[in-house]
Amino acid sequence: MNSQAIEDYLKAIYKLQVRDSTVLTSVLASYLQVSPSAATGMIKKMAASNLVRHRPYQGVELTAPGEKIALEVIRHHRLVELYLTEALGVPWDKVHDEAEKWEHVLSEDLEDRIDAFLGYPKSDPHGAPIPDRDGKISDRDVCTLSELSTGDKAVIIEVCDEDAEILRYLGEAHLYPRTEVQVTSVTPFDELMTIRIDLGNYISSELVVGQKITTRILVKLLSLDKSPTA
Amino acid sequence: MNSQAIEDYLKAIYKLQVRDSTVLTSVLASYLQVSPSAATGMIKKMAASNLVRHRPYQGVELTAPGEKIALEVIRHHRLVELYLTEALGVPWDKVHDEAEKWEHVLSEDLEDRIDAFLGYPKSDPHGAPIPDRDGKISDRDVCTLSELSTGDKAVIIEVCDEDAEILRYLGEAHLYPRTEVQVTSVTPFDELMTIRIDLGNYISSELVVGQKITTRILVKLLSLDKSPTA
DNA sequence: TGTAAAGTTTAACCGCAGTTAAATTCCACA
DNA sequence: TGTGGAATTTAACTGCGGTTAAACTTTACA
């Protein structure tokens, strides 16, 4: 069995690999809030167990076995997040921190029971996909809100779950997964985006959001008035 | 915040104090499956934090702050045990081991939510009392099954939860909390006890049990055909 | 009452995951 | 192309909770 620390490192590398396929020691260290030398030490240990590939001074990558474990931990995390929301009513800005602890103590048996209770869900309360038992994640056709242009209509697929304050703000603005939004304008330079939010019941609201927000929301484009800019 | 190890030590001392008000290092060490010197080390550390009182070579006792923490951990443990049984259908011989891990990661907020979900329960699936938030446990008028005499009728209040095999056996024999039993005979020397078990619907069964079992079942005497022997 | 056995504590050590400080490597730019 | 600065790794150390072996109390009994 791997230690909780190793599980945390593997999960972190997995998440950082989404941006860059090879992860620099310093990036990993600052993500995990440890010193670069601590990260180096753990990287070497994980490399010795064939969980990661390490090219000294160049960065680190998950191996297949490492990725498998990372996906198991992420599956645990997201199942627990959804479970806490659905079964115990924990508000969505709190479930991440709770799940950080629970993900490491979840037995396979309990994982199955929670999965069944939830009806074998495909995504967590923030819209993040839940890997299946084999670690597979279904493909999604998404981009960040910040990539949209004026006139584009989209539905929110996922919001970043790691900042509780942002989540509270998004919740107040009704920016949940499945909410529809339309970009009504984008300012130059700061790229402040005015979006119309569909609140249901033929009600909508308008909101101006900056890149702190727009880069943390994943959407699926609905209308093609304009194509997303790369 | 205390480490998981310290929480485990405090809980262990609490449980062992039920038998003997002062706990010997060797007893504690063997209960926790660590070496006596490891126990000594932790005892000294806990004594320095005023969690226990240590009389060298004589044994260890919880202080008031130590007992408070022990009761909090036990409350977590028993709430989790009941929650796993009620909400997720985990069989009663498995909940103890799961709860051993979960008790250390339960936030106060989640504790309250689980407590409310369960309707502020007073005992766990094995009949063990759940301390309230202040650490108070309601008094109970119980003795062990082994203390009863021929003819005594009693209702099972609690069964020891720490041995999964015994629990499976007890479950098959329908020896749950709230089951009524009557002692029909006791052999000399081995003190093998024949008990009649009320299975409900006017059905009962008979079973011969030894002291491994009878000392692990707490009962409340119903009829007073004979008083319990001290 | 002296002593040996049993129990307890101390001492020296280990692995884990972190730290700071020093050495090393890499890379960009003059 | 040589070199300075930034990033990375190594080295030396820390605290935690465990180990075994040795030293020390306590106690029971001859």
Nearest CB to B105 within list A105, A109, A113 = A105
A18-27, Cβ contacts within 8 angstroms, sequence gap of 24 or more: A21/A61, A22/A55, A22/A58, A22/A59, A22/A60, A22/A61, A23/A59, A23/A60, A23/A61, A24/A59, A25/A59, A25/A60
DSSP state of A51: S
3-class state of residue B211 by DSSP: helix
Q: Which nucleotides of C are covered by protein (CB under 7 A)?
A: 7-12, 16-22, 25-27
Tell me, what CATH number does B113's domain have?
A: 1.10.60.10
Q: What are phi and psi of B116, to 5 degrees?
A: -65, -45
Identify the bridge partners of residue A129 per DSSP, sorted by sequence position.
A123
- With respect to residue A227, please indicate whether it lies within any of the assigned structural domains: no
B81 & B126 share domain: yes
pLDDT in tens, A45-74: 999 999 999 999 999 999 999 999 999 999
- With respect to residue B226, please indicate whether it lies within any of the assigned structural domains: no
Tell me, what CATH number does B197's domain have?
A: 2.30.30.90
Residues of A in Cβ contact (< 8 Å) with B105: 101-102, 104-105
Identify the bridge partners of residue A164 per DSSP, sorted by sequence position.
none
Residue B100 to chain A, least CA–CA distance (Å): 10
The residue among A167, A223, A173, A160 whose CA lies nearest residue A19 is A160
pLDDT in tens, B101-135: 999 999 999 999 999 999 999 999 999 999 999 99
The nt closest to B30 (CA vs C1′) is: C7
Measured distance CA(B17)–CA(B5) in Å, rounded: 18
A26 & A50 share domain: yes
B153 & B125 share domain: no
- With respect to residue B123, please indicate whether it lies within any of the assigned structural domains: yes
- With respect to residue B227, please indicate whether it lies within any of the assigned structural domains: no
Are the Cβ atoms of A98 and B107 closer than 8 angstroms?
yes
Q: Average the pLDDT over B16-24 and give the result.
A: 92
Whether nucleic acid strand D comes within 7 Å of the CB of A121, the answer is no
Burial class of residue A225, CB neighbours in 10 A (0-12, 13-18, 19+): middle
| Termini Cα distance of chain A | 42
Question: In terms of residue numbers, what domain contains A108?
Answer: 71-139
B117 & B150 share domain: no
B95 & B81 share domain: yes
Residues of A in Cβ contact (< 8 Å) with B94: 109
Find the residue in A nearest to B109 (Cα): A90
Alpha helices in B89-191 (DSSP H): 95-102, 108-117, 164-172
Measured distance CA(A21)–CA(A19) in Å, rounded: 7
Residues of A in Cβ contact (< 8 Å) with B109: 90, 94
pLDDT in tens, B147-166: 999 999 999 999 998 888 99
Structural domain total, chain B? 3
Whether nucleic acid strand C comes within 7 Å of the CB of B56, the answer is yes
Nearest CB to A113 within list B89, B114, B117 = B89
- Beta strands (DSSP E) in A33-192 are 52-55, 59-62, 143-144, 153-159, 180-186
Tell whether the model's pLDDT for residue A159 goes beyond 60. Answer: yes
Sheet architecture: strand order including A180-186: A143-144, A217-221, A153-159, A180-186, A193-200, A203-209
Among A93, A124, A139, where does a domain finish? A139
* Tokens representing residue A139 in the block: 């493909």
- With respect to residue B230, please indicate whether it lies within any of the assigned structural domains: no
Tell whether the model's pLDDT for residue B197 goes beyond 70. Answer: yes
Enumerate residues 96 to 135 of chain B having a beta carbon within 8 A of any beta carbon in chain A: 98, 101-102, 104-105, 107, 109-110, 113-114, 117
The verdict on B82 touching A (C-beta cutoff 8 Å) is no
Tell whether the model's pLDDT for residue B78 goes beyond 80. Answer: yes
Q: What is the pTM of this model?
A: 0.89
